[in-house]
Amino acid sequence: MGKLDGQVALISGAARGQGEAQARLFAKEGAAVALGDVLEEDGQRVAESINDTGGQAMFQKLDVTEVSSWQSMVEETVVQFGRLDVVINNAGIARVKLIEESTLEEYLEVIRINQVGVWLGMQAAIPALKEAGGGCIINTSSTAGLEGYSGLGAYVSSKFAVRGMTKVAAQELGRYNIRVNSVHPGPIDTPMIRDPQIARRDTDDFGLSAPIPRVGHVDEVAAMMLFIAADATYSTGSEFVIDGGVTAGSMIARAND
């Protein structure tokens, strides 16, 4: 028996990184998974791999900035699997640039994907979740939705917005038995963090100043997502932080140093 037997989960940004790990874990726990991403070749590969190992998966190209793309994604998920129970808004990008040096278009590129994409995903999924009698929306924010980081003005703006709209959606949808929560990963070993623009030093350096002195793994974030979807049945409008203690405070000195 899996924790998600009989349920259907739609995951954006599922072609690699955190989204791929979530899709694989949810399928392992019995859910049928719909993978959406602009990376078609990678997304098809992941879906086929899940199906080849006994799971149920489909892939469809999803541009999270487009209303019609989201509508088509939700509709096809329901056609293929009969219902929709869990939505994970996972797609996102980061750009490193000082506010003074940024253009409006560079700022809006991040906002459209990270912020508007989440808003559109929730909006498109609500009717299907209501039809299923309730469900769960999980919005991927970041520790950048809890505190600021120099050079990441657009990213921080978008992730704070995700945190806020999650709380609004939780208030609006609770009466329909739809829970809405945000997840706030810290440094996680993904293609995003290894982008030369972001990873200007060895990836492991990102986590060395945290109480747990390492970067996190995508499987650890997936486990958090599973807990929220399957077990955290009285949590909504909440922030689930998975950051190795990065936001616990500054480590000025250690007792054993």
Is 33:53 a contact under the CB 8 Å cutoff? no
Catalytic residue, candidates 107, 149, 155, 234: 155
Both tokens of residue 5?
């037997």
Q: How far apart, in whole angstroms, are the C-alpha atoms of residue 98 and residue 95?
A: 10
Is 87:62 a contact under the CB 8 Å cutoff? no
Q: How far apart, in whole angstroms, are the C-alpha atoms of residue 49 and residue 52?
A: 5
Assign 257 to helix, strand or coil.
coil
Which residues have a Cβ under 8 Å from the Cβ of 136 and sit 6 or more positions away? 85, 86, 87, 178, 179, 180, 181, 228, 229
Does residue 155 carry a catalytic annotation? yes
Is 167:118 a contact under the CB 8 Å cutoff? no
Catalytic residue ranges = 155
